[in-house]
Structure 1
Amino acid sequence: MPLPRRSRVVSFLFIAILAYIGVLVKRKFMSPPRVIVVGGGLAGLSAAHTVLQNGASVLLLDKMKSLGGNSVKASSGINGAGTPAQAAKSIVDSVDDFIKDTTASAGSLARPNLISALASNSASSLEWLGQLGIDLSQVTRLGGHTIPRTHRGNGGPPGWAITSALFKKLDTEEKATVVKSATVTKLLEADGKVVGVEYAVDGSVQRAEGPVILATGGYAADFSSSGFLSQYRPELLSVPTTNGGHATGDGLKLSVALSTPAALVDMDQIQVHPTGFVDPSDTSSQTKFLAAEALRGVGGILLNGTGERFVNEVERRDFVTARMQEVIAAGHGPVRLVLNKDAADELAAHIGFYVSKGLMQRVEGIKELASVTGLDESTLSKTFEAHLRYANKEEADPFGKVYFSNPKFDSNGQFLVATMTPVVHYTMGGLSVDELARVLHADGTPISGLYAGGEVIGGVHGQNRLGGSSLLEAVVFGRLAGHAAVEGK
């Protein structure tokens, strides 16, 4: 016989109250799970610190002997929209403006949910880094941005500054265990969930249980015959790379080996950065050092083999790369990057490093510049004079440049010069994730217990990544993954 209506209501309320009490008891008395983070670059470090800040413990595994990954090499900065640093310089920016620029760059592969997550969490991510004592007070404009929003400090390259601060702090955390030279060989599964990892260290195989965050980076150094580059972009196997040898798509391989594999997206979308240094002492090296986009952001210009400009230096990376490749293919190279003293002074720490490595050369006056490059002095003079006219709005730049910084090249002043070549730099493809950094199956459902952040994920940047968004992606999605893993989302 059914209960009277009033009794049913009371029963329902009683059950609801018991359930609520159960949740409170669980939160108060049950320890959060230990979270396993695979990869010690900026995404992994951001995830690890977020896990700790949410009361859980963390096991961080990295296959290298030292932490940092490719993040330590990042030299242009980290994007943020609507930050105090921008306000201090009277720069008006917004999340909507950042979304528009990122969407335009991503083209037909733009994914609004991921772009929104990236942009809307940008200012808070920079604030979080600032709370750790990281200086991000300087702001510049990189290619594809309509507003200056790429932040860096007054010291050395921002990638090193940020990652070193995070792994030094991690060393002080009692609830953090870091194991280096540890190669994860398998994701453990139970009842359709990822419940841990199997890894090899010091010749032994070990297991660790807990939710897993993958932060293993991309596949831009996966040159094996069966690797992702061979599978998706074989023509890039002969192009130099800026990536360390660790960037071999490990997290992707682990995830597609699951009983129900994770989905991969945009795997053919690989960014060829326009400016890698050609080391005069080793011109044929397959690995090149990146010439930071900030060098062009502060006013560096690109010249062809006759000393003339051929592109808007602060256009999107894919556009500048295409123009450079056309120049080189037509036999009109080499391509050189030239900065004046004012531009070089803005990036003094970068320039000092590049010069010390023999990648850039200081010269005094246009005569010496012509002498060391073999370029015609009168052609160089005409190029510099025209560039200043465009900057002063006396004429329109034939290449469409409207944002100029330090545009005056004094014929008697100091110049910095280096030879450039396009380089495989960043893989926009990777694991399919949602806006909470949960790894997805092909049908769009989350894989319980598996999260990811940084270059291992795909879909955030679409067809092209804007400069300054790699470090941001690492922090934003690393933090999102840390939150989701602790909360069991």
Structure 2
Amino acid sequence: MNNQVRIVVGGGLAGLSAAHSVLEHGGKVVLLDKKPSLGGNSVKASSGINGAGTDTQKHLNISDSPKAFYDDTATSAGPELTRPALITALTSNSAPAIEWLTKTFGVDLSLVSRLGGHSVPRTHRGAGGAPGWAITSALMKKLVAEEDKAEGRAKILKNAKVVKLLQTGDKVTGVEYETGGETVKLEGSVIIATGGFGADFSPAGLIAKYRAELLELPTVNGDHATGDGHVLVTSLPTHAGVLVDMDQVQVHPTGFIDPAQPDAKTKFLAAEALRGVGGLLLNKDGARFVDEMEKRDVVTEKMWEVIKNGKGPVRLVLGVQAATELKSHCRCDFYVSKGLMQRFSNLQDVAGNMQAPFKDLQNTFASHKLYASGQEKDPFGKAHFHNSDINTEEPFLVALITPVVHYTMGGVSVDDQARVLDASGRPIPGLYAAGEVIGGVHGKNRLGGSSLLEAVVFGRIAGEKAAKGI
């Protein structure tokens, strides 16, 4: 281990995980972020973080394994885009990632739920607020504490935009960044953790280049998510990195429509956890049209069919038990206060608001209860039910929802050691990447709960390999 600094570009969960991993393995680290505050999209993640074979699962008598998690992830990715080495890295390191967060940073991840596409409950969260904020803020606070130590092994630079990667021969040897009107050079190996490109709606941007038909959709990404790392890696003068699966952009089925600003380009995400605890998706007539626990790409496709056939808008409806379970986790009270969700006294009031026949809505909930009990088979193939015994005389929460650009599965090509690869598949010396900026882990569809996990797992790997010079 030499004394050269390790440079982390990006202050979301992947970058923070990488920075802490560098420190744990004896290195010095400088973390740069172009924004005035850290966190990225990670702080907004609200469904949880996946882990297979964790102590929490065992405590709750949930039988799971990295193999089962691998199989679910590969199924979601699709046979053509499954990359076994990357999926193995993600799933085999999932339980250690959960342990690292709970024991090193004191993050509460004591609750487990099941999201769409998972064969067992494995998405961890705590009893407090949104897990993305709980996890990311814990790592932020500890890195700030490390920066304050006399040893001077950690440094955080905000409002510092990296504009160029430096090379000596084939090796990446540092970065050039802009801050306060000045351009500064910094030497060291580099970990790219700049996130995805889900807010890059410029006419010449990455969405326009790879998925132009999505330009009209809203997004739930922050304005920082413009593919900076993708451009940096592919702009190297020699031995440049390459991009994979760039057309694989995840459109999440449920973004909140704010009735006061229905055409807003940036929307709040209606987390998958809302469906995981029993929320139903209904068309304008109050009828279900999909297994709410299906994979995101399937639910999105069914929503498009509903809207195309004139059966929109689509509503997300939660009974009082589901809403109570997620009261703090998904900030339901916050969503109500912002007008993103409406509270109704009973199903009769919901029907009145929807201008749908009350009897039809009653039949929808009565039928769903029969499917959950096993007395009848759900016509959409739903097998996993939660909070399905809904009393229609009790309160409901209802939201208008729409598909939104959510996550970019494509990105920088890496191996299972988080090393950036060139066009021939060779690692580029001195260059690593982690988080949403990397491509190939999720194939055509990312499972809910795997974005935070990808950030932690590959961030930790990148930090360790960079610190050891591997």
TM-score (norm 1): 0.93
Counterpart of 1:195 in structure 2 is 173
Q: CA deviation at 1:84?
A: 0.9
Matching of residue 296 in structure 1 with residue 298 in structure 2: no
The equivalences for 1:3-402 within 5 A come to 31-107=2-78, 108-131=80-103, 132-173=105-146, 174=149, 175-259=153-237, 260-349=239-328, 350=330, 351-402=332-383
Query: Letter of the aligned partner of 1:168 in structure 2?
Result: K
DSSP-derived class of the 1:248 partner = coil
Question: 1:187 Cα shift?
Answer: 0.2
- Report the RMSD for the aligned CA atoms in angstroms: 0.8
**Number of residue-to-residue matches in the alignment:** 460
What whole-Å deviation, never above 9, does each CA across 1:404-463 have from its counterpart, x for those lacking one?
000022121111100010000000000000000000001000000000000000000001
Q: Deviations over 1:54-108 (max 9, x none)?
A: 1111100000010000001100000000001111111000000000000000002
Q: What SS does the aligned partner of 1:64 have?
A: coil
Q: Identify unmatched segments of 5+ residues in structure 2.
A: none
Q: How does 1:422-441 map to 2 (within 5 A)?
A: 422-441=403-422
2:284–2:354 Cα contact (<8 Å) kept: no
3-state SS of 1:216 partner:
coil
The whole-number CA distance in structure 2 between the counterparts of 1:249 and 1:365 is 45
> Which ranges in structure 1 are unaligned for 5 or more consecutive residues?
1-26
Secondary structure (helix, strand or coil) at the match of 2:185 reads strand
Deviation at 1:261, TM superposition (A): 1.7
Determine if contact 2:256/2:340 at 8 Å carries over to the other structure.
Answer: yes
Question: Could you say which structure has the higher helix fraction?
Answer: 1
State the 4+ residue runs in structure 1 displaced beyond 3 angstroms.
Answer: none
CA distance in 2, matches of 1:485, 1:331: 53
Q: Does 1:405 align with 2:405?
A: no
The corresponding residue for 1:9 is none
Distance 1:222 1:323 in 2: 26
Tell me which of 445, 451, 462 is aligned to 1:470: 451
> Matches of 1:170 and 1:230 in 2, distance apart?
36
Amino acid at match of 2:92: S
Q: Say whether the 8 Å CA contact 1:32–1:486 is kept in structure 2.
A: no
What's the offset of the Cα at 1:254? Answer: 0.5
Percent identity, aligned pairs only, is: 61
Specify the code of the residue in structure 1 equivalent to 2:323: A
2:102 partner SS: helix
**Are the equivalent residues in 2 in contact too, given 1:438–1:447 (CA < 8 A)?**
yes
CA-to-aligned-CA distance 1:97-129 (integer Å, 9 cap, x gap): 000000000002000000000000000000000
Q: Secondary structure at the match of 2:441?
A: coil
Q: Residue 457 in 1 paired to residue 438 in 2?
A: yes
